[in-house]
Copies of this chain bind each other. A is one copy, B any other.
Amino acid sequence: MTTEPAISARSPRRERTRERLLDAAFEVFADQGVQGASIEAVCEAAGFTRGAFYSNFESKEELFLALMDREMRTHLADLERSVAAIDPAALDTPDGFRAALRSVVSGVGPDVPGERQWCVMKLEFELLAMRDPDVAARYTAGQQRQRAELIVVLTRVLDGLGLRFTVDVRTAVDLLLGAYEAGLRAALLGAPGDQHPEALIEVLVDVLTAAAPPR
């Protein structure tokens, strides 16, 4: 999209500083917000000065876009990895089935340490997307890839078990993702009550498979 120096033409050293700047950007953006963070702060966190930054990126916006693309690629890969790691044998028990489903829906399961940052950055992405059509297009494209992957996987898994959701699979995925995100956010904000992602997901799975024909 933006003019990238023919990606192959980037020296290894250059590539490493880029990565370090992106890593730092993730931390600093999550901590202070994309708008609130200064380029200087990102550079400092990465152990560089602004000279290095302007040598690698044109602006904070370009840095942000590069970061978002990288994160979405990473999480799609994580999803595919955790899908590949599903143990078909464990699916027979309801608990195993729910666990697999949860780990798949969360994209990467309870990697609890980074959960907060991940959630915050997702909110930042959505917020920026609300204001910039270009960001919105990239963001929704990534979300759609994730959604498509989940649809395929769930269809396959349920077929294998001889089950069916009581609603269209695509709708089921949307509901599952919505419930998971809402629950996660509420939990991270310290909300009381029972709106925690695991609980919501389990209830939802029960409801969505309730009237399904037995194997």
Question: Chain A interface (Cβ within 8 Å of chain B)?
Answer: 31, 33, 35-36, 116, 119-120, 123-124, 126-127, 129-131, 133, 136-137, 139-140, 143-144, 147, 166-168, 170-171, 174-175, 177-179, 181-183, 185-186, 188-195, 199-200, 203-204, 206-208, 210-211
In the complex, the answer to whether A166 meets B210 with C-beta atoms within 8 Å is yes
Nearest CB to that of A119 among chain B residues?
B130
A174→B199 CA distance, assembly (Å): 11
Chain B residues with CB under 8 Å of A183's CB are 174, 178
Chain B residues with CB under 8 Å of A131's CB are 31, 33, 120
Label chain A's interface by main secondary structure: helix
In the complex, the answer to whether B143 meets A171 with C-beta atoms within 8 Å is no
In the complex, the answer to whether B129 meets A189 with C-beta atoms within 8 Å is yes
Q: Within the complex, which residue of B123, B167, B178 is in contact with A207, where a contact is CB–CB below 8 Å? A: B167
In the complex, the answer to whether A130 meets B126 with C-beta atoms within 8 Å is no
In the complex, the answer to whether B140 meets A203 with C-beta atoms within 8 Å is no
Q: Within the complex, which residue of B191, B194, B200 is in contact with A144, where a contact is CB–CB below 8 Å? A: B191
Nearest CB to that of A37 among chain B residues?
B35
A15→B39 CA distance, assembly (Å): 39
In the complex, the answer to whether A178 meets B200 with C-beta atoms within 8 Å is yes
A63→B181 CA distance, assembly (Å): 29
Chain B residues with CB under 8 Å of A167's CB are 203, 206-207
In the complex, the answer to whether B126 meets A185 with C-beta atoms within 8 Å is yes
In the complex, the answer to whether B175 meets A179 with C-beta atoms within 8 Å is yes
A131→B188 CA distance, assembly (Å): 10
In the complex, the answer to whether B120 meets A123 with C-beta atoms within 8 Å is no
A177→B171 CA distance, assembly (Å): 16
A206→B102 CA distance, assembly (Å): 23
Nearest CB to that of A188 among chain B residues?
B130
Nearest CB to that of A196 among chain B residues?
B174
Q: Within the complex, which residue of B33, B129, B130, B147 is in contact with A35, where a contact is CB–CB below 8 Å? A: B33
A-B pairs, top 3 by smallest CB distance, nearest first, are A178-B182, A35-B35, A35-B36
